[in-house]
A and B are shown apart, each in its own frame.
Chain A
């Protein structure tokens, strides 16, 4: 019996670079590398030539020049004497504001619609199907424009809210009334909502370049403390349950921990709401939200909500029916079954597409351009770009910022996926 002799080592020939799969991949990669290098250097060369032809340089020092334009909605103090960099920050915060509130609203809406779409109630299930299909199949830009136009063209003028003495005498009602007992007034100029005010002010601290109210910090710190206290309470309850089998009642203690200290602090600081009031030709007091923001928020939430509803539905349907039956066989009631058996498994399916919907919503906030809401694209990629004429710098920086936001969100998603991944051998 003879062992198969090892294949004779062929001497290396040049043709093996193409015909031998061991070497071919190296050949291909070298070719790709050369082509890619050529392409990049071609691009860079063009950029250099174009910049030279336009007598321009590539630098970001313009960010420290005076911006000179106003921004209607600012989360941090900003005047037109501030720098372009600060204007960019204001825009970025405006983007994030829409994104965060939008994600929250879209999730609420999506979970609601997704669960109701599976409802046994025929009418409600159909209504939700109609909602999902209509919003998924029509461009989000249409919803943004439509909501904006409807808000700013059909809502009454501020003076329609006026109540004059003659009208009181004649017993006439004004042509328009604020909702919720005068709290929310929607006019064709914007939506006025009550604003939070404190009687005592603890002062502000300067954090880098933005001043932060100590009142706000105190409330946040207290909420964090409540969170820790609540966690301790729940952990203790679990320990008792493990030891004795009886779980102490915790819900009212939790509620007290969350509400009481915060309420006390707010009362001590003299917290109250300032209602919008009609003075002269417009509403003053409270917070006036521009329709651009409202329209963007409503449209993005409704649109993304429809997609999230589909994800939620798919996630719930993905849990096999046997799981429910097994839980019932163990004697769990329907509510506990949902909470302990179905939801944890459905979440694993729901969360990844949910996060990518968040990502989409964040990217779609750039459609603010349609309603002239000054977000990151409106400030850095809009007015700053037009004023300074530095297209290359502004666009690259803006793309970089969007890319960073996206990568952070996807990194969070990957972390979550790692933590809920089925542990397999």
Chain B
């Protein structure tokens, strides 16, 4: 008889047992992350207390928020009727009533489509710069955008920006015609001279003539009607757009072998970085009248934009200098040994790498610049934070309101600045080329 009794042997693996209750799921997570020791537990309790006190203060106030009211007193009545005497409640009705001032200042109400269209077009113009998937041909629109935006925002004759942009066409044409015969530097120089001559002598008469022949245009809007986030955007976007190239040039100047160029760049950068932005803004409003020829007077917004641009470019120059310094020396030498000239080396080898390294710094400069646009309130412009809020708070209906306007304006700033910093992280990741 065959002994069928086999010794016990398992043929399949046992399924793994679940870890003990304290070592899995939420309990494990809590033990590891919140209560891993007496010190950690203490921190957690303090943290919970902070969260609780914030929530218990803010929650009723937010829950009792009123969106429909004509004045602060009315708001308080509604809150008292709804939640009992002595309850606190946010009065968002103020924002409902005044949001247009926070957004556009005193821009004519029937022309709101113009800044909105300009904003939409801004994204169209930015798309090819920010995202690679967008067709390259859109870059032409990006180049034209400043003129379009100027026309939309300030209005006036359509011919003014067109004729002004023709100056650049003159530059390009002069360069094309002459560069073969005279070489790049001379052709560029002559082109620039031609462009300046165009702007000085041809521009104004031609624009006047054209607009009297064929008057197309939008009703003009004065600069002092600009305000709120419209103003912050106009100043911020223009200054960002112009400060980057200026910053690159300054950084190159600071790295230059030419003593004079280097000294001037260093002097400019250190001076700008050494004084507060407010003093520069006051320079724009008080001192420029001394430094410009007598009886010249141009728009305050333009003056402020110029000085904010100069201010930002000095900071960006320092950031880019950091990027340039971080590049290995071999990159410069490799470019030289390939026979590239200075600008070719900068454009093809140095800048792509240096800019990539300095992206985080550049973006945080931009964020700082955008936040600093609020300081224009001190030279009498209506920024959203101080200018408009003060007007709202001075109104008899909304006297005594303070949390709501600041929370509203702060939230918008937060979204924009936080968005910019997240985009820069995305860009960093996209451009990362680790040597594996």
Interface residues of A, Cβ cutoff 8 Å to B: 18-19, 25, 28-29, 32-33, 36, 43, 46-47, 49-51, 53, 116, 119-124, 127, 133-134, 136-142, 145-146, 149-150, 153, 363-364, 366-367, 369-370, 377, 381, 385, 391-392, 395, 398-399, 402-403, 406-407
The reply to whether B287 and A392 form a contact with Cβ atoms under 8 Å apart is yes
Q: CA–CA, A147 to B92, complex, Å? A: 20
Q: CA–CA, A141 to B47, complex, Å? A: 28
Q: A18-B185, A120-B33 are in contact. Are A53 and B294 (CB under 8 A)?
A: yes
B408 to chain A, nearest CB (A): 11
Set of chain A residues within 8 Å of B99, measured between Cβ atoms: none
Interface residues of B, Cβ cutoff 8 Å to A: 32-34, 36, 40, 43-44, 46-48, 50-51, 183, 185-186, 257-261, 264, 270-271, 273-279, 282-283, 286-287, 289-294, 367, 371-372, 374-375, 377-378, 385-386, 389, 400, 402-403, 406, 409-410, 413-414, 417-418, 421
Set of chain B residues within 8 Å of A385, measured between Cβ atoms: 286
11 more CB-based (< 8 A) A-B contacts, given A138-B414, A153-B402, A395-B283: A29-B261, A53-B294, A124-B46, A137-B367, A137-B414, A138-B410, A141-B375, A367-B375, A385-B286, A395-B282, A402-B275
The reply to whether B287 and A363 form a contact with Cβ atoms under 8 Å apart is no
Measured CB to CB, the nearest residue on chain A to B44 is A123
Can you pick out 20 interface pairs between chain A and chain B where the beta carbons lie within 8 Å of each other?
Answer: A32-B260, A46-B294, A49-B293, A121-B34, A124-B43, A138-B413, A139-B385, A141-B386, A142-B410, A142-B413, A367-B375, A369-B378, A370-B377, A385-B286, A391-B290, A392-B290, A395-B279, A395-B282, A406-B273, A407-B274
Main SS class of interface, A? helix
Measured CB to CB, the nearest residue on chain A to B296 is A46
The reply to whether A399 and B270 form a contact with Cβ atoms under 8 Å apart is no
Q: CA–CA, A135 to B307, complex, Å? A: 26
Set of chain B residues within 8 Å of A50, measured between Cβ atoms: 289-290, 294
Measured CB to CB, the nearest residue on chain B to A18 is B185
Q: CA–CA, A153 to B393, complex, Å? A: 13
The reply to whether B276 and A366 form a contact with Cβ atoms under 8 Å apart is yes
Set of chain A residues within 8 Å of B417, measured between Cβ atoms: 136-138
Q: A46-B290, A120-B33, A139-B385 are in contact. Are A146 and B406 (CB under 8 A)?
A: yes
Q: CA–CA, A377 to B286, complex, Å? A: 14
Q: CA–CA, A395 to B379, complex, Å? A: 14
Q: CA–CA, A355 to B250, complex, Å? A: 23
A129 to chain B, nearest CB (A): 12
The reply to whether B402 and A121 form a contact with Cβ atoms under 8 Å apart is no
Q: CA–CA, A398 to B46, complex, Å? A: 45
The reply to whether B413 and A145 form a contact with Cβ atoms under 8 Å apart is no
Q: CA–CA, A47 to B403, complex, Å? A: 46
Q: CA–CA, A31 to B363, complex, Å? A: 34
Q: A29-B260, A137-B418, A369-B278 are in contact. Are A47 and B290 (CB under 8 A)?
A: yes
Set of chain A residues within 8 Å of B183, measured between Cβ atoms: 18-19
